[in-house]
Amino acid sequence: MSSPANDREKVVSKLPGWLRQNLKVRAAQHGIEIQAAVEQGIAAWCDLAASLKTIDTRGADSFATFLPDGQWDTFRQAANDRGVSLIQGLAQSVQLWLDTHQAPDIERPAITRRIIVCNQKGGVGKTAITAGTGEALAENPNALHPVRIAKQLAAASGEEGPLDVENLPGLGLRVLLVDFDPQCHLTNQLGATPLPMGGDSLTNHMAGDPKGELRDLVVSIDEEVFGERLHLLPACSDAFLLDVRLSAVRAREAALERALAPLEADYDVILVDCPPSLGLSMDAAAYYGRRRNGEAPGQSGALVVVQAEDSSADAYELLTAQFEDLRSDLAVEIDYLGIVVNLYDSRRGYIATSSLQGWVDIKDPRVVGLVGDLKEQKEAVRVKRPLLAYAPRSQQAVAMRALAREVS
């Protein structure tokens, strides 16, 4: 059955659910509308000399789309000539389009990207942003996930506008999360075990006293949606002594880079959850995130997590001053990837809304993420699971995906 709609006509048939889902994902991967994919598939199917292999259409349910005027009649005649049902012909057409439009390869950076998630102030949620961003970067590229496409992160009033959500394929990158904080929050939140005191650790490798291969300490975050693409280098409480140990190391600002260099070839992105510190360990993290020779601006650098309150602004000024000193002393470029305003709740009144507007007004670096203070993140921490696996459709998960795309 059909009805006119401008220069196209609406057609209604049936498709198996699995085939419909594959079509939705693949069309999104190629950035085209489903109706365009079906149109191309039907045109290609009608041009074939014979029908294709029979497709199991059991359980097919209603499927509607819009086709150019006359295409459905041509398709109906071709199906009749080949002695196949319209449902079977449509299924073959869709499968033909899928077979000739394979999933695109993941675009991988020539130089492993290094993102340091930082702020001298504790309690702003650096760990949650590190984990959420990494999870979003590693999500299944052959499935659709809700993403907030923010045309404007905050209006002049500081109110977050209605969510504009689009279902997009996951980014499918290979990601390493590095817990660089002796408090081990990232390690614990993701359900891993902190490394034992007296054993091997990132601290030992940075201090030039390794007890084995660093890669042997890396663990996989075993959730199906990440497909073994998301890994964690757990923390050890010996990192409380890192600044003392680094004071005796030559070229100590490069200590983190020397330690992580053997792992870089295995990953597209490495995110470092930094401690709330302005000491030597933060110098090493900042140096690791610097722009390397041959690397485009904005590929690596600092992602600064703040809250919409005054103490975050004070801490931000201390952090930027440290970066400026490093730029001057070491002649390096440290790019800001943006500011993330975390744990935002406009119900807290003028302090929250005016502070948010203050961050938005900075412009350079700009605000690239606004994440609400909602229960799902706290629940995920309690059950020690990644947010995007525990509550994949929550507003916080949707915001993390938007953030990942802002910095990817």
Looking at the chain, the whole-number percentage of residues with pLDDT higher than 70 is 95
Sheet of 367-372: strand order equals: 219-220, 230-233, 175-179, 269-273, 113-118, 301-306, 336-344, 367-372
Q: Among 318, 288, 295, 290, which residue's Cα sits nearest to residue 306?
A: 318
Q: Are 183 and 280 in a shared domain? A: yes
For 295-319, how does the pLDDT look when each residue is reduced to its tens digit (9 = 90+)? 999 999 999 999 888 777 788 888 8
Antiparallel, parallel or unpaired: β 269-273 and 113-118:
parallel
Q: Are 123 and 87 in a shared domain? A: no
For 56-80, how does the pLDDT look when each residue is reduced to its tens digit (9 = 90+)? 999 999 999 999 999 999 999 999 9
Q: Are 208 and 234 in a shared domain? A: yes
Report the CATH number that the domain containing residue 193 is assigned in CATH: 3.40.50.300
Query: How many other C-beta atoms are found inside a 10 Å radius of the C-beta of residue 22?
Result: 17
Q: What is the enclosing helix (H) or strand (E) of 337?
A: strand 336-344
Q: What is the SS3 assignment for 65?
A: strand
DSSP letter assigned to residue 71:
H
pLDDT value of position 163? 54
The pair phi, psi for residue 80, each rounded to 5°, is -65, -45
pLDDT value of position 150? 53
Tokens linked to 390: 């525990």
Q: What is the SS3 assignment for 219?
A: strand
The answer on pLDDT for 2 being more than 60 is no
The answer on pLDDT for 399 being more than 80 is yes
Residue 315 lies in a domain: yes
pTM above 0.85, yes or no: yes
Per the model's pLDDT, the better-predicted residue between 123 and 233 turns out to be 233
pLDDT value of position 156? 34
Between CA 230 and CA 218 the distance in angstroms is: 10
Give the total number of structural domains in the chain.
Answer: 2
**Where is the domain boundary, 48, 67, 100?**
100
Residue 107 lies in a domain: no
For 262-299, how does the pLDDT look when each residue is reduced to its tens digit (9 = 90+)? 999 999 999 999 998 888 999 999 999 999 999 999 99
Do 33 and 24 meet the contact criterion of CB atoms below 8 Å apart? no
Mean pLDDT rounded to a whole number for the chain: 91
Domain that includes residue 62, residue range: 2-100
Q: What is the enclosing helix (H) or strand (E) of 282?
A: helix 280-288
The pair phi, psi for residue 179, each rounded to 5°, is -85, 100
Per the model's pLDDT, the better-predicted residue between 352 and 86 turns out to be 86
Tokens linked to 373: 């203070």
Q: Are 133 and 63 in a shared domain? A: no
Per the model's pLDDT, the better-predicted residue between 178 and 148 turns out to be 178
For 83-105, how does the pLDDT look when each residue is reduced to its tens digit (9 = 90+)? 999 999 999 999 999 999 999 99
Q: Are 398 and 377 in a shared domain? A: yes
